[in-house]
Every structure is written in structure tokens, then in C-alpha cells.
Structure 1
Amino acid sequence: MANSKTLHAVIFRIGALICAAPAGIVREILPRLPATRIPGVAQAIEGLVNVRGTLLTVLDGHVLLQQERRAGDEGAIVLVEVGGRRYGLGVGQVLDFLEVPAQSVAERAELPGVDPRLVRAVGLRDGQHFILLDIDRLFEPIIGA
């Protein structure tokens, strides 16, 4: 983070948390689609969705980050590429796409209620902090390394 001049990120809400994913791994933002639940899978897997003929696994960001859903959030799926495969991350609401100056981003910090291993950095957007998630580590318990 310190060596780049600008961070490009997609900002979204998961429960009470304002989070971000690096724009370089985000492939698409989709409206909430009905997921077909798969029996016997982890609770964090919402299920499968059909996106233009391709089945994608959607992981529930609320379960992964232990956040309650907020009333009024319309829901969205942030399509990300992890380990050469595409997955959906179910979020409450997509808020913005930002170019954040490096001086507005601090390296990993401990935050109450958030596993510090999942935090790559903390940034500032319109006076409000956001968490730049380590998506690989967030998905690792579900999809493996």
C-alpha cells in the first residue's frame, strides 16, 4: 500500500461495516440474485447463481464477517476473482468506486469485532473509515488456500 500513490477500490456495506475490495480483483457488480442453496455446505455459502450461463458460488459476507443484515439494504453481489476463479460476495449495499490517495490509507489495524487477519488496510472516505479486506483470507476457510 505504501508504495502505490492511489488505491482503487469498490466500497460496500456488510452489516455495520463499511468495507472495500481492491478494484483489481472486482470483475462485476450484480444486483442480488436468488441463489440455489446446496445441501450440506457451510452456512457462509449462499448457494449458486446463474450469470449468463455460468454457475457461480456466492459467499455471504454477513456470515463471513459475523454481521447482522441491515433493514433497507437492497443487497448486491460483488463478483471477485480469487485464486484464478470467480466467486460472488454477497453484500448489503455497494456504495462507491473510489480512487483513494495513499495518505488516506493506513496499513493493517486492529478493529473491534473484526479479525485483524482479514484487514489489509484502513482507509478514509468522506470522513468515514472503511476496511480494505483481504479477500483471499476472507474466503480461505470456505474455498481453501
Structure 2
Amino acid sequence: MPDSPTLHSVIFRIGALICAAPAGIVREILPRLPATRIPGVSGAIEGLVNVRGTLLTVLDGHVLLHQERRADDEGAIVLLDVGGRRYGLAVGQVLDFLEVPAHSVAQRAELPGVDPRMVRAVGLRGDQPFILLDVDALFAPIIGADGQVP
């Protein structure tokens, strides 16, 4: 019997939401780093961080998804390849790397308080639902269609 296809995802928390990004676009997970603010940019851009000599733009997942920070947030930066460039996504906490059978993931769903354009699918981690983010749609209003931060 052939193996059923699986979805590999990195699971993290942003405010009250449990979210995921496809593992194929995740390059690295870093502890929270101080970001240098950039004057005149969107509040969703936390700033620039230096990762081994390379400056990367970090976007704040809490602002992008309209979520409050939690007092127990450890803070982490998930480095993602989006639109041919690498960006950081600031999250509250990285929780897991998960292999989910593809048949257990439902396509886009209406979720209270979550813009459906940001949702690629909904899955389960144990008995807890998570949102597989459409990272391109999440970042598009900030980085633009050409991948450049305005």
C-alpha cells in the first residue's frame, strides 16, 4: 500500500492563533533578535536584523494577523523564502515541526477574526486546530508583488 502524502509544516503561535508555514519555505528559526526600526515603513515591519552579515527584513506576525501579544511569548523569528527573497516573521513561540497526512487538512475555512485570504488550509495538531498560512498573501500588502519592501 503506498504511503499517503504528508504535509510538512512548522507550527508556531501568533497571539491566540496556532499557525503553520510549509516547511519547504522555512530556512531557519532564530531566537528573538533586536530589530533596527526603519523610519516611514508600515508598522507591520518590525525592522532589520543582522543574520551572519546579511540584513533581513522582519515582519511582525502579530500586526499582520491583528493578534495581541501574550505575556508568556518567548519570541522567535522564522526565516522564510517568499517571492524569491528571505524575510523574517516574528512569532510568539515556535511549537513544533509536524507531518500531517494530506487527507486530514481541509482547504480554506472561514475562521472568526482571520482574513480568509491569509488561510491556505486548516489542519489538526492533536486535537488543536492550526491555520496553514498563505504566506505570499500574508506578506503581499507589505512587500508588494515584486518582493520589494516599499
Cα distance in 1 for residues equivalent to 2:102 and 2:87: 28
* Superposition map of 1:132-143 within 5 A: 132-143=132-143
Cα distance in 2 for residues equivalent to 1:104 and 1:125: 10
Matching of residue 39 in structure 1 with residue 46 in structure 2: no
- State the Cα deviation string for residues 82-101 of structure 1 (Å, max 9, x = none): 01100000000000000001
* Superposition map of 1:91-102 within 5 A: 91-102=91-102
Identity of aligned residues (%): 87
In structure 2, what is the equivalent of residue 110 of structure 1?
Answer: 110
- State the Cα deviation string for residues 40-80 of structure 1 (Å, max 9, x = none): 11000000000000000000000000000000111000000
The Cα of 1:104 is off from its aligned counterpart by: 1.7
In structure 2, what is the equivalent of residue 17 of structure 1?
Answer: 17
After superposing on structure 2, the runs of 4+ consecutive aligned residues of structure 1 that deviate more than 3 Å are: none
Cα distance in 2 for residues equivalent to 1:115 and 1:29: 25
Cα distance in 2 for residues equivalent to 1:21 and 1:130: 10
Cα distance in 2 for residues equivalent to 1:42 and 1:102: 36
The Cα of 1:103 is off from its aligned counterpart by: 2.2
Cα distance in 1 for residues equivalent to 2:109 and 2:126: 19
Given the two structures, how large is their TM-score scaled by the length of structure 2? 0.93
SS in 2 for 1:122: strand
Cα distance in 1 for residues equivalent to 2:133 and 2:77: 16
- Structure 1 alignment gaps of length 5 or more: none
Given the two structures, how large is their TM-score scaled by the length of structure 1? 0.97
- State the Cα deviation string for residues 82-140 of structure 1 (Å, max 9, x = none): 01100000000000000001122101101000000000000000100000000000000
Cα distance in 1 for residues equivalent to 2:104 and 2:127: 10
Cα distance in 2 for residues equivalent to 1:79 and 1:12: 13
SS in 2 for 1:8: strand
Cα distance in 1 for residues equivalent to 2:18 and 2:132: 9
CA RMSD of aligned residues (A): 0.7
Cα distance in 2 for residues equivalent to 1:110 and 1:5: 25
In structure 1, what is the equivalent of residue 72 of structure 2?
Answer: 72
- Structure 2 alignment gaps of length 5 or more: 146-150
